[in-house]
Amino acid sequence: MDFDLSEEQSLLKDSVERLLADRYDFEARKRHGKHPEGFSPEMWRAYAEQGLLAVPFSEEEGGIGGGTIETMIVMEAFGGALVLEPYLSTVVLAGGLLRHAASAEQRAEWLPGLIGGETRYALAHGERQARYDLHDVGVQARRDGEGWVLEGEKALVLHGDSADRLIVSARTAGGRRDRDGIGLFLVEAGAEGVSRRGYPTQDGQRAAEVSLSSVRVGPEAVIGSPEGALPAIERVADEAIAALCAEAVGAMDRMHRLTVEYLKTRKQFGVTIGSFQVLQHRAADMFIALEQARSMSFLATMMAEADDPAERSRAVSGAKVQIGRSGRTVGQGAVQLHGGVGMTMEYSVGHYFKRVTMIDQLFGDADHHLARVARMGSLLAA
Amino acid sequence: MDLRFTPEERAFRQEVRGFFEQNLPKDIHAKMIDGRHPSKDDIVTWQKILNKQGWAVPNWPVEWGGTGWDPVRQYIFLDELQSFPAPSPLQFGVYMVGPVIAQFGNEAQKKHFLPRIANLDDWWCQGFSEPGSGSDLASLKTRAVRDGDHYVVNGQKTWTTLGQYADWIFCLVRTDATVKKQEGISFLLIDMKTPGITVRPIQTIDGGHEVNEVFFDDVRVPVENLVGQENKGWDYAKFLLGNERTNIARVGVSKQRLRRLRELAALERVGDAPILENPRFAEKLAALEIELKALEMTQLRVVAAERKREKGKPDPASSILKIKGSEIQQATTELLMEVVGPFALPYAPEDEGDEHGHNEPPVGPDWAAPVAPTYFNWRKISIYGGSNEIQKNIIAKAILGL
Ligand SMILES: Cc1cc2nc3c(=O)[nH]c(=O)nc-3n(C[C@H](O)[C@H](O)[C@H](O)COP(=O)(O)OP(=O)(O)OC[C@H]3O[C@@H](n4cnc5c(N)ncnc54)[C@H](O)[C@@H]3O)c2cc1C
C-alpha cells in the first residue's frame, strides 16, 4: 500500500504545475478562451513540447509510456487551472481508442501527429436519444464496396468543432440498442458530407453537433472490429471518467482553497467572516467532501486499468458518484460562502463551480452511476 | 382548525386565475413556463394590465391603490400569480419602496411617486448593498452631506438588480458618521439621470446581466427626496426588509417548477421509458413535493397569524420561509439538471436569437437551454434578501433566545 508518486511522476507533476502557474492564471485563461477554437493553440503546442500529449502512449510509439496515474497527474493540474484545451478529447478519448482498438499500422500512421500536437481529435459517439447509454448508437454504417458510408447525427461532440479528425461510432449491424454491431471509423473533419455546428458549453469549453450525410470512408478508416467496438468504447469511457474525476478534484481543491482564503480576509460586522463557527463548519464539510473525492479519484485511477471490466466499471462508477456529490457540496458551498462575489463571471470561483457541475453531467451523472453500481453488486466485495 | 378555504376564497382564486388566463399575453406566458426571463417590456406591459384591473399593488393602503384584501386573499393572489406563472411585479417598487413611501413619506412624495410605481411609469432599483457592506448592511459608507437644499452623495452601491433599466434608485446613505452605525443612516430617493451617477454591469455566472454597480460622484439630490426623518433610515429599511421576507418563500414559483418538472420528466426518455417512470426519480420528486407542501402549510400558518399582527412587524418565523423556500427552489433546479442530463452542456445566450433575428436550432430538447443557467443563477436565492446563514442567526436569536 503506497500513495506516493514515483520520482518521474513527481517530476511530471512539477513540470505541468509550473507551466500552468506561468501561463495559465485566471486572466490568461480568459484570453485563451477568446481564440476562435475556444482554447489556445499556443498552449497546445506547449503541451506537445513538454511531452504531455505523449503521456499515455508506449515509448515505441513515441510516447512516454505513462498509465492512468500519469493522466491523473495532468488532469488534476488542468482542473486547478480550468484548462480549456482538448486534452480529454484528443489524448484520453481518441488516444485511448487508438491504443486499445487500432492496428499497429494505424497507430504508426496517426499517433505521431497526435503526439506532436499537429492533429487534434474528437470522439463523435453521443446521440440525441442515447443520453448516457454507450450502447445506444443509431448512426448507420453501410458497406460500400471495400469501404463504408456513414449516415446520421452525433450530439455533444466535445471539441468537435475544432478537431481535425473525428472518431465516429456507427452501427454496422443489429438494432439501435444492441451491444453488438457497433464500429469505429476515422473521419477527416473536412470530408465531404460532414457538417459541424459548434457552440460554447456552460463551462467555457466547446462542443459540436455533427451531421454525417453519405460520408464515404475506406477500409483503412475502420478502427478495430467493425461489429465489436463497444468494449473498447466502454473501456475508454471509464478511463475518461477517471481522468475527469482527477480534473474535478483539481478544481475542487482550488475552489476550496479560494474559499478558505476568502473567509480569512472578508470582513463583516468588524470581524473576518471565518470567525463565524457556522462558516468554519461548512468549510470543514467541504474539505471532507474534497478528500473523499480525492480518495475515490485514486481508486478510479488505479482500477481504470483493471483487466476485469466489471471490477473496473464498478470502481469507476463509484468514483463518479462521489465526485458528483462532492462537487455539489464544494461548489455550492464555495459560492455561498463568497456571497454575491461568488455569483460573478469576473471572479474565478463560479467558473470552477460550473466546470465541476458539467463534469457531473458528462459520461453519466451521479444518479446514473449510482444505479450502475447498485445493479452490478457490492463495491466492497474484494 | 380548518384547512379549507371558504367558498368565497375559492371563488376569489377562480376569479384571479380566470383573469390571468384572459389577460396575460401568450408570448409572456410561454417564456415564464420555459423558465426564461421576462424582458423589461414584458414586465411593464403586465404591470399596466394589472393596474387597469386595480390589482397592481394589492398590498398597499387602499387610498393609494391597494385592494384591501386580507392576508389570505393576498396570499391566494400571489400564489396564483407565481404558479400560473405570470411575471412578478417589479418588487423594488411594489413591495419595497412603495410601502415605505406610503407609510413614511410626505404627501407630495406619495402623490408623485405612488401612482407612477403602480403603473410602472418609473422603474425603481434598490441601492442598499455596498462592496464592504452586505450582511452587515448597517456598516454602509455611501455619504450624503447637506449643502443648502441638496444632499451631496458620494460612494458606491453594488448588486443593484436591474439597475440598468432604472429611472430611480432608493438608497441608504450615511448622514451622520459620529453616532452608532444604525442611527446615522437616511433613506434617499435618487433620480438615476442626475449627473455624477455611473452604472456598470456585473455579469453573473449564468452569463446574464441582472446586477450592476452604481457609483455616485458628487451627486446632488434635492432635500425633498429624503423619506421621513434624517437618520431614521434604518427603521424604514427594517420595515422594508420585513415586507421582503414574507414574499420570499415563493411557494407558487416552486409549485410551477415542480409541475413543469413532472411534465418534462414524462417527455424525456432514458432508453425506452420516460424518466418519470424511474422509481428513484419519482421518489425524489415526491420527497420534494412533500417538502413544498409542508412549506405551504407553514406559510399559511404565518399568513393566518399575520391577520392579528401589527403591520410592518414581520413574524421571525418568516425566516423559516426564506430558508426553506430557497432550498426548495434550488432543489427544483437540481432535479431538472437530472432530467436534462448531458443536454445541460450547451450554452445558448438567451437574447441572441432576438437580436440577430434568427436562432440556431436547439441542441437536445427544446426546453434545455435555460436549465443549467437557472441552476447556477438560483444559487443567489440563498445569498440575497438576508443570506440563509443570517436567517438562521435570526431564528436562533429571535425565536430560540440563544
Ligand atoms: C443576484 C443578486 C442580486 C442582488 N440584488 C440586490 C439589490 O438589488 N440591491 C441590494 O442592495 N442588494 C442586492 N444584493 C445583495 C445581497 O443582499 C448581498 O449579496 C447579501 O446581503 C450578502 O452580502 P455579501 O454578498 O456582501 O456577502 P457577505 O455578507 O460578505 O457574506 C459572505 C458569507 O458570509 C456569511 N455571513 C456573513 N455574516 C455572517 C454571520 N454573522 N454569521 C454567519 N454567516 C455570515 C454569509 O451568509 C455569506 O455566506 C443582491 C445579491 C445578489 C447575489
Is the pLDDT at B103 greater than 90? The verdict is yes
Digit-coded pLDDT (tens) for B13-47? 999 999 999 999 999 999 999 989 999 999 999 99
Map out the domains of chain A as residue ranges.
7-119, 122-226, 231-376
Q: How many helices (H) and strands (E) does chain B have?
A: 14, 9
Is the four-CA dihedral B100, B106, B111, B113 of positive or negative sign? negative
Question: What Cα–Cα distance (Å) separates residue B260 from each residue in A360, B77, B257, B371, B374?
Answer: 23, 20, 5, 12, 14
The residues near B13 (Cβ < 8 Å, ≥ 6 apart) are B5, B76, B80
Within a domain: B2: no
Mean pLDDT of A194-207: 98
Lowest-confidence region among A374-378, B183-187, B386-390: A374-378
B162 and B278 share a domain? no
B133 and B210 share a domain? yes
Contact A329, B373 (CB under 8 A): no
Greatest alpha-carbon pair distance for chain A in Å reads: 79
Digit-coded pLDDT (tens) for A80-137? 999 999 999 999 999 999 999 999 999 999 999 999 999 999 999 999 999 999 999 9
Domain harbouring B297, CATH code:
1.20.140.10
Residue that is written with C-alpha cell 403586465 in the block = B46
Within a domain: B132: yes
Do residue B139 and residue A269 have CB atoms under 8 angstroms apart? yes
How far is it, in rounded angstroms, from Cα B396 to Cα A77? 42
pTM equals 0.97
Domain harbouring B167, CATH code:
2.40.110.10
- At A184, is the secondary structure helix, strand, or coil? strand
Within a domain: B110: no
Using CA atoms of B72, B78, B79, B81 in order, give the dihedral in degrees to the nearest 10. Answer: 140
B211 and B136 share a domain? yes
Question: What Cα–Cα distance (Å) separates residue B233 from each residue in A65, A101, B181, B228, B300?
Answer: 70, 72, 11, 8, 31
* Residues β-bridged to residue B201: B212
- At B221, is the secondary structure helix, strand, or coil? strand
Digit-coded pLDDT (tens) for B331-367? 999 999 999 999 999 999 876 444 444 567 888 899 9
DSSP class of B338: H
Digit-coded pLDDT (tens) for A338-380? 999 999 999 999 999 999 999 999 999 999 999 999 998 888 8
Phi, psi for A199 (deg, rounded to 5)? -155, 155
CATH topology for the A122-226 domain: Butyryl-CoA Dehydrogenase, subunit A; domain 2 (2.40.110)
Spatial CA neighbour of B364 closest among A8, A73, A301, A130: A130
Q: Counting Cβ atoms within 10 Å, is residue B395 exposed (0-12), middle (13-18) or buried (19+)?
A: middle
Best residue in B205, B214, B380, B392 to probe A by mutation, most A CBs within 10 Å? B205
| Number of structural domains found in chain B | 3
Q: What is the pLDDT of residue B355?
A: 44
Query: CA end-to-end span of chain A, whole Å?
Result: 15
User: How does residue A221 score in pLDDT terms, banded at 50, 70 and 90?
Assistant: very high
Q: What is the pLDDT of residue B71?
A: 87
Q: What's the gap between Cα A77 and its chain centre? A: 13
How far is it, in rounded angstroms, from Cα A57 to Cα B38? 52
How far is it, in rounded angstroms, from Cα B17 to Cα B24? 10
Cα-to-centroid distance, B385 and ligand 1 (Å): 8
Contact A97, A167 (CB under 8 A): yes
Query: Which residues on A lie below 8 Å from B377 (Cβ)?
Result: 343
How far is it, in rounded angstroms, from Cα B269 to Cα A130? 9
Q: Which of these three, B172, B202, B232, is where a domain ends?
A: B232
Pick the residue whose CA is nearest to atom 33 on ligand 1.
A337
How far is it, in rounded angstroms, from Cα B236 to Cα B96? 10
* Helices assigned H by DSSP within A184-308: 230-265, 277-303
Do residue B129 and residue A345 have CB atoms under 8 angstroms apart? no
Q: What is the pLDDT of residue B144?
A: 98
State what percent of residues in chain A have pLDDT above 70. Answer: 100
How far is it, in rounded angstroms, from Cα B36 to Cα B24? 16
User: How does residue B1 score in pLDDT terms, banded at 50, 70 and 90?
Assistant: confident
Contact A55, A71 (CB under 8 A): yes
Within a domain: B96: no
Query: Which residues on A lie below 8 Å from B337 (Cβ)?
Result: 357, 361, 365
Q: What is the pLDDT of residue B356?
A: 45
- At B192, is the secondary structure helix, strand, or coil? coil
Q: What is the pLDDT of residue B316?
A: 78
State what percent of residues in chain B have pLDDT above 90. Answer: 85
User: Shortest Cα distance from A373 to chain B (angstroms)?
Assistant: 14
Within a domain: B111: no
Return the C-alpha cell found at B394: 435570526
> What class does CATH assign to A7-119?
mainly alpha
B72 and B152 share a domain? no
Give me chain A's average pLDDT, please: 97
Question: What domain range is B34 assigned to?
Answer: 7-89
Within a domain: B243: no
> What class does CATH assign to A231-376?
mainly alpha
User: How does residue B99 score in pLDDT terms, banded at 50, 70 and 90?
Assistant: very high
Within a domain: B296: yes
Say what the ipTM of the complex is: 0.97
Say how many residues make up chain A: 382
Mean pLDDT of B354-382: 84
Q: What is the pLDDT of residue B354?
A: 45
Mean pLDDT of A11-24: 98
Mean pLDDT of B138-156: 98
User: How does residue B184 score in pLDDT terms, banded at 50, 70 and 90?
Assistant: very high
Mean pLDDT of B279-297: 96
B220 and B159 share a domain? yes
Best residue in B264, B363, B391, B395 to probe A by mutation, most A CBs within 10 Å? B363
Digit-coded pLDDT (tens) for B203-252? 999 999 999 999 999 999 999 999 999 999 999 999 988 776 566 789 99
Cα-to-centroid distance, B372 and ligand 1 (Å): 23
Spatial CA neighbour of B123 closest among B154, B97, B155, B86: B97
Task: Give the residues surrounding ligand 1 with Cβ less than 6 Å away.
Answer: A 266, 268-269, 273, 276, 278-279, 336-337, 339-340, 343; B 126-129, 134-135, 159-161, 211, 380, 383-384, 387, 389-390, 393
Q: What is the pLDDT of residue B350?
A: 74
DSSP class of B378: G
The residues near B18 (Cβ < 8 Å, ≥ 6 apart) are none
How far is it, in rounded angstroms, from Cα B356 to Cα B347? 17
Query: CA end-to-end span of chain B, whole Å?
Result: 31
The residues near A30 (Cβ < 8 Å, ≥ 6 apart) are none
Within a domain: B237: no
B217 and B133 share a domain? yes
Do residue B342 and residue A156 have CB atoms under 8 angstroms apart? yes
With residue B66 as reference, give the H or E element that holds it: none
User: Shortest Cα distance from B102 to chain A (angstroms)?
Assistant: 30
**Which residues of B289-390 form beta strands (DSSP E)?**
none
Cα-to-centroid distance, A276 and ligand 1 (Å): 15
